Amino acid sequence: MAVREIAYDVHGWGRGKVWFADDVLVWHELPSPTHGSAAANGHPLVDRLRAYFAGERVGFDDVPIELDWCTDFQRAVAETLRAVPYGEVVTYGELAALAGYPNAQRAAGTFCAHNRLPLVLPCHRVVAAGELGSYGSLGAGFKRRLLELEGVDI
């Protein structure tokens, strides 16, 4: 199966990348500051990502994604994440319970920490009880910025 990489630039955010196998999204890197620019690309998902980062209310729940690597628990968390609405947050404990695994908040957090499809599986909408929580290598500031973009007051 051939995998195609597409880089995209977003003003004020940087350059991100998406990888597709056929028309199925298999990996996504959020934008980070970089020098130079990516070639313009008219892929429909790239256009939607740019619109999202420009502040438009864009959903990604219809984007075909590859989840063959998931366990039953991971698939349940992924499907539950897709259902968390734009502009709303849940705690890791709520995410685990909604996925059918109460008391598995740490495992839900681990899934979010290794999420290879951010925005499509919007783990930035999952917060720690009483605080924002982390956001991997991009940090809590990036998570806060995404939530502010969606109108969440943190």
Name the token pair of 63.
Answer: 């984007």
Catalytic residue among 45, 84, 123, 127: 123
123 is catalytic: yes
What is the pairing mode between strands 90-91 and 126-127?
A: parallel
Catalytic residue numbers?
123
